[in-house]
Every structure is written in structure tokens, then in C-alpha cells.
Amino acid sequence: MKYQNYINGQFINAGEFLEVYDKYSGELIGEVPIANEKEVQMAMESNRQAFTVMKKYSAGKRAAFLEKLYQLLDSQKEDFARLIMREAGKPISYARSEVMRALDNIKTGIRETYSFSGEMVPMDYLNGQGKTAYTIRQAAGPVLAITPFNFPLNLALHKIIPAIAVGASITVKPAPQAPLTMLKFAELIDQTGLPEGTVNILFTHNHLSQKMVEDSRFKILSFTGSDKIGWMLKNLSGKKKVLLEMGGNAAAIVDETADYQRAARKLVYGSFLNAGQICISTQRIFVQENVFNDFVNYFLDETKKVKSGNPADEEVINSSMISHNDLMRIDSWVKEAVAEGAKILYGGKILDKAANIFEPTVLTGTDNRMKIYTEEAFAPVVLIESFKDFNEAIDKVNDSRYGLQAGVFSNHLPHILQAQKNLEVGGVIVNDAPGFRIDSMPYGGIKDSGMGREGAKYVMQEFTEPKLIVLG
């Protein structure tokens, strides 16, 4: 099936196409037009013009657009889940979960549209005596959004929904590995009645994406992807506001007071779901030494239950990696770690080369000289190491250039408070895996994991500027 870019309220086919394949079967499932420079310029200019219209709309009118969008997506949720499964290799149960999260994300955006506001500013002192002051928040301008393959619907909506909610326009450039979901979503946008050019969805070459990043008509850049690309784009973005969500190598701590069996169940799922291709997938686990052996044995028992294979199978948790190159990359990282002294406790090999499936893998004896320890694996591989005291565990988690989220399994309040205070991450998840997320929460990281926060309310703040009003 040939898809179309969506620019200024029009479906446009360029002369050049990108082929997109089913990640499990290898079947060609769609062709995506590659927007040329003229079409990219059309997108930027139409965003600029649409912004002058959208910023004047009331909260009620903006919320009505989102209501319509919710109804349209709800009526096609299974179609979207099936498409996500095929182009991203995501297990069908998890693909359905993504669509349901997207629907909830829209609901949250509707609520926040009605309640979003400025604040009263205390000013009744010194030369402000007798005056009243408050702020209103106004959209900063058109938004450029660059989105990843692993949540091709919901992570794009984390940018589209807040833009509509505050009265901004937005251009979305999806990832080349999984662009079909967003181009299909354009068909829904077209039916909402939004002004032409408010939401543009297009795929293009990297050099034209760079031109959009550099163009002054965009006032905000919102990027989700690798830290290497994210920091490069930030350097190119000029005076724009920049939001970066760039993943990490998430860690979890399990101390001697924790329910280690429950922790193992949570962490197995958090390590291998979607082949570990989640920004907050569990990659490093640190377990207090006096419960280490018991935890590992239970963890391995749970790992053996993880089903790998066809993403259309309702019971599959671990399916295709996004590309053959990524499959071979993680295979080489595991082999390098073993050559440097790591030990494979389970897995460690390619299960299906044609379908890009890597076996759920558990390693120990790793350290920060190894790529598998320091870099983002984005694969079904997890490391388990021991620690003596809780201070050591904190140090081990912090021994990373990333800082997105961390999990802490403990029933000892001083340890929980210590983790809360000292872990260098954007979120501390107590008695759950670091992959816990609800879409309304402030989600984001520090260090090389990025800057800014997602979640409708928090992105709406990022997409707007306060204006002070003083009444005499």
C-alpha cells in the first residue's frame, strides 16, 4: 500500500518512496513518499500560517478538536494496533496497549485544555501596593516533532496533543523504521476540522530534516530518540526551545528487605517486553548479596517462561528487533562482554536470524568497561550484579551517563528515602520496574537522557510562554 505525506491539509505523493517491511515476516507492507524540498518548505510555511489561526481559538474549540480525534482513533483502534505490530515488530498485546494509552493520552489532553492556566503573582508590597498581577500562558509558536520507531503512535501524540491543546501548530517527522502509523494517523487529523497546516505529517531525507531544525519558523523542537542525534539537533536548533527524551540504560535495586520474587517477576517483564526496545527497559539490576542467589534463581525461572516469536501470537513478549543491524549489534555486544569476563546465565544467542529475534539474555560479571553495561542496549538483555550495602547500590546506578528512571525494590523506609534523594535520574519508581509509566506523569531524564518533561500538562507548559498582566 502506498501512503501519502500530509501537508497543509493535502495528501501528497512525492516522486521517491521508502519501502517499509514487516519486521517479523519481512513482507513489504507499505511505501512512504519522501518529501522533497518544496514540500518541506510548504509544511513550514503552512505551520506558520496555521499558528496565526490556532492561537486565537478558545480552549473549548481546541478541546473539541481533540474530542473528535479521540472518537476517530477509538473507531479504528484494532487497525492501528495491527499496523504497529507489523511495522514495529511489537507483540500484538503490547501494540493494543499502546493504542489504549494513546486514547487515554487524548483524554488527558482534553482535561488539561480546559484547566490549563497561568498563576496569580503576589505584588501587593513596595511600589506594587494596590496592584493585582497574574500570568496567562500563550503558545510560543510552531513545533517541530521528531519521533521514534518503538511507540510510533503514542510518542508522537505526546507532542501532537499538547500542541493542539495550547493552540500551536506542529510538523511531525516519524522514524524511517516505522513511519506508516503516523501517515495513517494523518487520515484522522484530516477529519477533525483543524485548520489546514495545523498538523503536518511527513517523512523526508535527513538533510531536509536538518533544514527544518535550523529554520526559524519553528519555535520549538521536540525530539525523542538517541542521545547522539538529540544533542546534535540541539546544537543546530538556534534559538528554539528544545525538549529531548533520549532513553538510557535503566537500573533497578533489590535490597534484602524486598519481596524478591515479586521484584523478579516485575523485572523480567520490564527487561524483555518488546525485545527490550523501550527507553526505560530494565538493563541493569543490582541485588543485595545475601539474597542475590535466591533472586537470580527465581529470575531465571521467570525468564524461561518468556515466550519469543511471532508478534501476532497473543502470548509473545519478546519478538523482532527493529532491524538486522540491531540484531547483529547486540549479538556482538554480548560476545564482547563474555570475552571480557562476563558470564551468560541464560540465553545469549540469536533465536531467529530471518525474523531478527534475539533470545532473552541474562548476564553477570559485567562492569563499566563493557558496552553492554555503559551504553543503551535497546535489546532483550539484562545484567544482574550484587552489592554489599545500599550506598554501593546507589553508586552503581549513578555510574552511568544516562539518568531517565530507576526502580527501587525495598520495604525499608530509610533506603527508599536515600534513593529518592541520591539517585541521579528523572524518576524513582518504588517497588516496581523502572519501566513504569502513566502518560500523564512528568516523564523525562537528566544527563544524557535528555531535558524537559513529557505528559500533557508538562509539555503544554514547555510549548507556551507566560505573559505577565499587572492591573493598577
> Is residue 65 over pLDDT 90?
yes
Q: Indicate the angle between helix axes 77-88 and 92-115, nearest 10 degrees.
A: 120
Q: Are 17 and 31 in contact (CB under 8 A)?
A: yes
Q: Are 223 and 146 in contact (CB under 8 A)?
A: yes
What confidence score (pLDDT) does residue 245 get?
97
Average pLDDT over residues 175-187: 98
Please report how many Cα atoms fall inside a 13 Å half-sphere around the Cα of residue 106, on the Cβ side. Answer: 21
Question: What does R_g of the chain's alpha carbons equal in angstroms?
Answer: 23
What confidence score (pLDDT) does residue 280 get?
97
Q: Is 37 a catalytic residue?
A: no
> Is residue 358 over pLDDT 80?
yes
What confidence score (pLDDT) does residue 294 get?
97
pLDDT in tens, 89-109: 999 999 999 999 999 999 999
Q: Which pTM does this prediction carry?
A: 0.96
| All domains of the chain in start order, with CATH | 5-246+449-471 (3.40.605.10), 251-439 (3.40.309.10)
Residue 452 burial (CB < 10 Å; 0-12/13-18/19+)?
buried
d(CA 81, CA 179): 14
Q: Nearest-CA neighbor of 1 among 72, 70, 82, 89?
A: 82
pLDDT in tens, 43-52: 999 999 999 9
Q: Report the SS3 class of residue 451.
A: strand
Q: Is 315 a catalytic residue?
A: no
Q: Are 420 and 321 in contact (CB under 8 A)?
A: no
Q: Compute the C-alpha angle 384/385/388, nearest 5°.
A: 145
Average pLDDT over residues 264-272: 98
Catalytic residue among 279, 359, 385, 462: 279
> Is residue 14 over pLDDT 80?
no
Average pLDDT in the chain: 97
Catalytic residue among 98, 112, 245, 462: 245
Average pLDDT over residues 81-87: 98
Q: For residue 311, give every residue at least 6 positions away whose Cβ sits within 8 Å of its Cβ, in sequence order, or none.
A: 23, 24, 85, 86, 89, 90, 91, 92, 95, 319, 320
What confidence score (pLDDT) does residue 328 get?
98
Q: How far apart, in Å, are the Cα atoms of 26 and each of 174, 200, 236, 246, 317? A: 20, 29, 36, 28, 19
pLDDT above 90 as % of the chain: 99
pLDDT in tens, 293-338: 999 999 999 999 999 999 999 999 999 999 999 999 999 999 999 9
